[in-house]
Amino acid sequence: LFIDADHSYEGVRADWARWKDRLAPVAKVAFHDYENQAYEGVTRFVNELLAAGVFRSVERHDSILCGEVLHAGSAT
């Protein structure tokens, strides 16, 4: 899944909420504009997933953070 929302916290959270229950176990997800200062909402939401143990970072490509979802149904 590639999440490239309107880049607000609410937008990224809404995209996640729409898709999380459709993801396969240990799904791969990429979030665009992670740690881009212009889009702090993306970073805030992804950091919440990381802190909750729902998402595990695997690799970065510029501003794209790629990782694995560990517990999609229980998250935010």
* pLDDT band with cut points at 50, 70 and 90 for residue 73: low
User: What was the pLDDT predicted at 74?
Assistant: 53
Burial of 18 per CB tally in 10 Å (0-12, 13-18, 19+): exposed
- pLDDT per position as a tens digit, 11-65: 999 999 999 999 988 899 999 999 999 999 999 999 999 999 999 999 999 999 9
User: What was the pLDDT predicted at 50?
Assistant: 94
The DSSP call for residue 5 is -
* Residue 25 CB neighbours (<10 A): 10
Q: List the end-to-end C-alpha distance of the chain, in Å, as a whole number.
A: 17
Under 8 Å between Cβ of 67 and 32: no
Pick 71 or 20 by higher pLDDT. Answer: 20
